[in-house]
């Protein structure tokens, strides 16, 4: 039955039932497509081919019975409509299905989520997130050094990290239910945002995954505290800055940004959390940030990290590996990557893979 696959593909394309009907030139009505999605009817071969072409998927995809379902979706967002949320969830499932497909083609065991040994960490106070971040680093053997590529690290630990073109949403995190398998974990980041924001969002979502806040604890504040502690361990920050400062300059904050891969504002907040600078000193810094326009879009801090610095690359590498090992051909690889064969050939010729 094609219902769920058709509904996901349509939502991922951002089309209504009427818009999809129009895209296939009225071959069938919106009501008929609705019946297909509810598994009340099956399209003819001609209609199936037309629907697949309109949605930029294969007929085999629509007919396959593998289904992924997102559970416990948490958005990093401003105000968006339920339709926008549904579209992003569908695009996430659509890309994740491609990811799992290429793993299966290469006969790779889909890496399961490597949950830290002590997780989930109980939180009675947002400050307990500090201990949770320290424990995750210990469990994963990371020490106190800065993490150069956070997306790559999370993928090594079994979290699927996806990058999508997003507007009002910075990203999302969810569990992914799979047939006869443990739930996978996925984090989606906004593709074109600066990498220091991506890194903080990735660490923030990791915090949600590993912590179990008590009912009286603000989960978002705890995840923020976790992200700061995970990216900037207390001992490492104190070694760089000192234990107590009356003030800290913007120039020094820029140097710390290059060291830890975090935004200037996140570093200032971290120094306040650790008691390195006082509340009044922190407030003075944030007034300065506001005066310089760093606290509002486009968040134009100096020394911004380009978006590509924290792009997840594992899925793309697996696609090129499948091509090199002749598991699949160029047309299939281009389809998986969502590009044309011509663009794929250009990437291969230019050595950009």
Same domain, residue pair 151 and 257: yes
Is 81 inside a domain boundary? no
- Looking at the fold, whether 317 and 302 belong to one and the same domain comes out as no
pLDDT of residue 180: 66
Predicted pLDDT of residue 43: 93
pLDDT at 86: 83
For residue 110, the model assigns a pLDDT of 59
What pLDDT was estimated at residue 11?
Answer: 84
Q: With respect to residue 77, please indicate whether it lies within any of the assigned structural domains.
A: no
Helix spans in 108-242 (H):
129-139, 150-156, 195-210, 219-231, 234-241
Residues in the chain with pLDDT values less than 70: 65-66, 77-79, 109-111, 179-182, 351-353
CB–CB of 334/340 below 8 Å? Answer: yes
Q: Is residue 270 part of a domain?
A: yes
* Within a domain: 74: no
**207 and 291 fall within a common domain:** yes
Distance CA 311, CA 267 (A): 22
With respect to residue 72, please indicate whether it lies within any of the assigned structural domains. Answer: no
Task: Assess if residue 79 is contained within a domain.
Answer: no
The pTM for the full model equals 0.84
Query: Do residue 283 and residue 333 come from a single domain?
Result: no
pLDDT at 243: 95
Cβ burial 1-22 (10 Å sphere, 16+ → b, else e): ebbbbbbbbbbbbebebeebbe
Tell me what pLDDT residue 213 has. Answer: 93
Do residues 25 and 52 both lie within one domain?
A: yes
Question: Which of 46, 39, 29 has the alpha carbon at shortest distance from 67?
Answer: 39
The CATH number linked to 9 is: 1.10.260.40
| Owner of token pair 């945002």 | 193
DSSP string for 40-59: S----HHHHHHHHHHHT--H
Q: How many domains is the chain built from? A: 3
Asked if 26 and 160 sit in the same domain, the reply is no
149 with 20, same domain?
no
pLDDT tens per residue across span 214-238: 999 999 999 999 999 999 999 999 9
Residues 328 and 200 occupy one common structural domain: no
Instruction: Judge whether 70 lies within some domain.
Output: no
Range of the domain at 46: 1-65
Contact 285, 268 (CB under 8 A): yes
Same domain for 304 and 327, yes or no, is no
Query: Could you give the CA distance from residue 226 to residue 134 in angstroms, rounded to a whole number?
Result: 9
Is residue 51, in this structure, part of any structural domain at all? yes
Contact present, 276 and 240 (Cβ < 8 Å): no
CA distance 232 to 241: 12
| Judgement on whether residues 225 and 341 belong to the same structural domain of the protein | no
Q: Are 182 and 241 within one domain?
A: yes
User: Left, alpha or beta for 72 (phi > 0: left; psi -120 to 50: alpha)?
Assistant: left
Residues 228 and 297 in one domain: yes
């Amino acid at each position: 039955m094609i219902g769920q696959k058709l509904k996901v593909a349509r939502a991922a394309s951002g089309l209504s039932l009427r818009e999809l009907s129009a895209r296939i030139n009225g071959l069938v009505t919106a009501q008929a497509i609705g019946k297909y999605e509810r598994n009340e009817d099956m399209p003819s071969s001609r209609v199936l081919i037309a629907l697949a072409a309109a949605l930029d998927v294969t007929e085999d995809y629509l007919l396959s019975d593998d289904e992924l379902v997102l559970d416990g979706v948490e958005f990093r967002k401003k105000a968006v409509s339920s339709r926008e949320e549904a579209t992003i969830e569908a695009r996430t499932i659509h890309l994740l299905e491609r990811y799992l497909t290429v793993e299966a083609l290469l006969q790779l065991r889909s890496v399961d989520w490597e949950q830290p040994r002590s997780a989930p960490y109980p939180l009675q106070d947002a400050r307990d997130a500090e201990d949770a971040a320290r424990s995750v680093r210990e469990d994963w053997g990371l020490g106190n050094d800065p993490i150069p590529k956070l997306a790559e690290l999370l993928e090594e630990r079994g979290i699927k990290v996806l990058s999508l073109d997003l507007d009002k949403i910075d990203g999302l995190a969810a569990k992914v239910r799979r047939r006869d398998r443990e739930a996978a974990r996925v984090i989606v980041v906004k593709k074109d945002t600066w990498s220091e924001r991506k890194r903080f969002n990735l660490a923030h979502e990791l915090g949600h995954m590993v912590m179990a806040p008590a009912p009286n604890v603000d989960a978002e504040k705890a995840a923020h505290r976790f992200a700061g502690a995970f990216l900037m361990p207390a001992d490492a920050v104190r070694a760089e800055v000192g234990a107590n400062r009356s003030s800290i300059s913007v120039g020094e904050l820029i140097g710390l940004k290059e060291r830890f891969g975090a935004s200037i504002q996140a570093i200032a907040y971290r120094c306040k959390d650790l008691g390195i600078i006082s509340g009044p000193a922190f407030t003075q810094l944030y007034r300065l940030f506001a005066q310089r326009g760093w606290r509002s879009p486009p968040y134009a801090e100096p020394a911004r990290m380009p978006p590509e610095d924290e792009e997840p690359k594992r899925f793309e590498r697996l696609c090129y590996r499948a091509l090199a090992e002749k598991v699949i051909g160029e047309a299939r690889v281009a389809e998986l990557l969502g590009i044309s064969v011509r663009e794929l050939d250009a990437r291969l010729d230019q050595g950009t893979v």
